[in-house]
Structure 1
Amino acid sequence: MRVRKVFTVLGTLLALAASVPSGAGATEAAGKSGAKKPTIVLVHGAFADASSWNGVVERLQRKGFPVVAVANPLRGLSYDANYLRKVLASIDGPIVLAGHSYGGMVQSQAALGNPNVKSLVYVAAFAPEKGESALELSNKFPGSTLGDTLQIIDLGDGTKDFAIQQDKYWQQFAADVSRRDATIAAATQRPVNDSALTEGAGEPAWHTVPSYFVVAGKDKNIPIVAQKWMAERAHARAVVEVGNASHSVAVSHPETVADLIVRAAR
């Protein structure tokens, strides 16, 4: 009796083992059931800092995405792109990059040649062709009023930093954000070096990496016609227009921005 019970138990275990995928099949099944979500890397632009992504970060984290909001140095395009490139190299697995404003310049250059970067999202951002600068693109079409609002800080080394005058920040940069929040952002903004805005871009990653665009209808930094033109040139997979949005569209419409990033991640 005891021997018969042993064989019965062994037969049951063998039947169970046969029903479980093994080898490559098991790995594939595990991958399908728990595929790793891409890391979302967010790159702020000039006259802002990483906290400008807070609303977007909160929504992405709620959906289970790992998120890194990079502190963009704003010291020069090559310098900033090299820094971002090193951040990207430290991340395992697939990446979706999203850049706001000048951050689009940086991500276009930093993503080149990195096979982990699967999508680029431009949020009221520059998507340059090789040789183009942020200054050139912002003035390619009429409508930008940024120049009249800038405060110039002479660094004594032949370069200058630019910041937006605090009393002009709300109307220029964040007109659809509450006055209180815009006043805080004006006080905490990070200035950008003039070399960052005048340096020509290298070969851009959007030639080979799928791109997605959020364009802001009331943008006073980068006119919407310029944003749409860059999106069309990049053969964007999707363009979402927020008609009443200021340049701070990621702050005023974080749900819209997060939704497009999630779409790019899929």
Structure 2
Amino acid sequence: MTTTPTVVLIHGAFADAAGWSGVIAELQGQGVPVIAPPNPLRGLASDAAYVASVAAQIDGPVILVGHSYGGALITVAGATENVVGLVYVAAYVLEEGESLGELQGRFPLSPLVSNLKEWTYPVPGGDPAVEVTIAEDAFPSVFAADVPADVTRILAAAQRPLAAAAFEETAAAAAWRTKPSWALVAGADEAINPEVERFGAQRAGATIVELDGASHAVAVSQPKAVAELILDAVRATS
């Protein structure tokens, strides 16, 4: 008797779990159990610990799916015992001891970097910390160029900020060393250089799918293609 893994979808920065709506519908239509918890976006170590705690409380095998910054989190959280596979969607695939900044720094910077807006938020007992969003006027071209304009305006207004410190924290583990992985490279990504996505996926030995015209918001623009890669992982680990 086989047990279908539960798919846990982890969104990245400047987004929330609603970005997975189309993918969730596709997976549910195939009878695959799926949840999309909120990503705190406060720091690599603490966010990964949260994702790991979600996975550990699920009865049975889990496939972690990470978009963007979420890829860095599943790389660490994937070390959780019941995680049986990792799926990276237009994502960072870190090595143990590597930071987002270090991985990005190997390649030309994407337009995202020059279009970040800084905000501050209170930290108990300390000075305010910095968080970043994408400037609203740049959001459509940087994040979601293949998504209808009326949708991108909503996504830009609803984006969730990422703590700036997350770019410098290093990964405490690289679960892809012991767990099978799959990766989707978004060929027209302007938020993460596609070369960053491709390099990390190849280094991890992932099964790679490339979508030439896909933006960073590929889960919104092409949910069927994203779901199909996840289903490949589900079939391989069931």
TM-score (norm 1): 0.84
2:209 paired residue number: 240
Asked if 1:256 corresponds to 2:222, the answer is no
- Report if aligned partners of 1:39, 1:93 keep a CA contact under 8 Å in 2: yes
Name the one with the larger helix percent: 1
- Alpha-carbon distance between aligned partners in 1 of 2:193 and 2:86, rounded to the nearest angstrom: 20
2:29 paired residue number: 62
- Alpha-carbon distance between aligned partners in 1 of 2:153 and 2:102, rounded to the nearest angstrom: 29
- Alpha-carbon distance between aligned partners in 1 of 2:143 and 2:30, rounded to the nearest angstrom: 29
Q: Which runs of 5+ in 1 are unaligned?
A: 1-30
- Alpha-carbon distance between aligned partners in 1 of 2:143 and 2:205, rounded to the nearest angstrom: 27
Identity %: 47
- Alpha-carbon distance between aligned partners in 2 of 1:166 and 1:136, rounded to the nearest angstrom: 26
Q: 2:199 aligns with which of 229, 246, 250?
A: 229
1:40 paired residue number: 7
Calculate the aligned-residue CA RMSD, in Å.
1.1
- CA-to-partner distance for each residue in 1:73-100, whole Å, 9 max, x for gaps? 0001111011111111110011111000
Query: Across the two proteins, how many residue pairs are aligned to each other?
Result: 231
- Report if aligned partners of 1:56, 1:257 keep a CA contact under 8 Å in 2: yes
- CA-to-partner distance for each residue in 1:31-67, whole Å, 9 max, x for gaps? 2xxx331100000000000001011000000000111
Q: 2:98 aligns with which of 124, 132, 142?
A: 132
Asked if 1:82 corresponds to 2:49, the answer is yes
2:36 aligned partner, one-letter code: A
- Alpha-carbon distance between aligned partners in 1 of 2:105 and 2:22, rounded to the nearest angstrom: 30
1:208 paired residue number: 178
- Alpha-carbon distance between aligned partners in 2 of 1:179 and 1:91, rounded to the nearest angstrom: 37
Shift of 1:190: 0.5
User: Bigger radius of gyration, 1 or 2?
Assistant: 1
Shift of 1:154: 2.3
Shift of 1:235: 0.8
Shift of 1:143: 4.4
- Alpha-carbon distance between aligned partners in 2 of 1:75 and 1:147, rounded to the nearest angstrom: 18
Asked if 1:115 corresponds to 2:81, the answer is yes
1:146 aligned partner, one-letter code: L
Secondary structure, in 3 states, of the residue corresponding to 2:197? Answer: helix
Q: 2:129 aligns with which of 151, 154, 159?
A: 159
- Report if aligned partners of 2:56, 2:81 keep a CA contact under 8 Å in 1: no
Secondary structure, in 3 states, of the residue corresponding to 1:166? Answer: coil
- Alpha-carbon distance between aligned partners in 1 of 2:154 and 2:167, rounded to the nearest angstrom: 24
Shift of 1:111: 1.5
Q: Assess, with a 3 A threshold, how the Cα gap between structure 1 residues 135 and 158 changes in structure 2: closer, same or farther.
A: farther
- Alpha-carbon distance between aligned partners in 1 of 2:13 and 2:112, rounded to the nearest angstrom: 12
1:243 aligned partner, one-letter code: D
1:71 paired residue number: 38
- Alpha-carbon distance between aligned partners in 2 of 1:67 and 1:179, rounded to the nearest angstrom: 28
TM-score (norm 2): 0.94
